[in-house]
A and B are shown apart, each in its own frame.
Chain A
Amino acid sequence: QVQLQESGPGLVKPSGTLSLTCAVSGGSISSSNWWSWVRQPPGKGLEWIGEIYHSGSTNYNPSLKSRVTISVDKSKNQFSLKLSSVTAADTAVYYCAMGDIVVVPAAISYYYMDVWGKGTTVTVSS
Chain B
Amino acid sequence: SSELTQDPAVSVALGQTVRITCQGDSLRSYYASWYQQKPGQAPVLVIYGKNNRPSGIPDRFSGSSSGNTASLTITGAQAEDEADYYCNSRDSSGNHLRGVFGTGTKVTVL
Contacts and interface: CB of A to CB of B under 8 A. Distances in A.
Interface string A40-84: 000001111011000000011110000000000000000000000
Contacts of A62: 96, 98
A123 B6 CA distance: 28
Contacts, number: 81
Interface residues of A, number: 27
Given A101-B90, A108-B31, A110-B30, A59 B42 contact: no
B50 to A, nearest CB: 8
6 contacts: A45-B86, A61-B98, A108-B28, A111-B30, A112-B48, A116-B43
Interface of B: 28-31, 33, 35, 37, 42-45, 48-50, 54, 65, 86, 88-90, 96-104
Given A59-B99, A109-B31, 18 more contacts: A38-B101, A45-B101, A46-B104, A48-B99, A48-B100, A50-B98, A62-B98, A95-B43, A108-B31, A108-B50, A110-B31, A111-B33, A112-B48, A112-B49, A112-B88, A113-B45, A113-B88, A116-B42
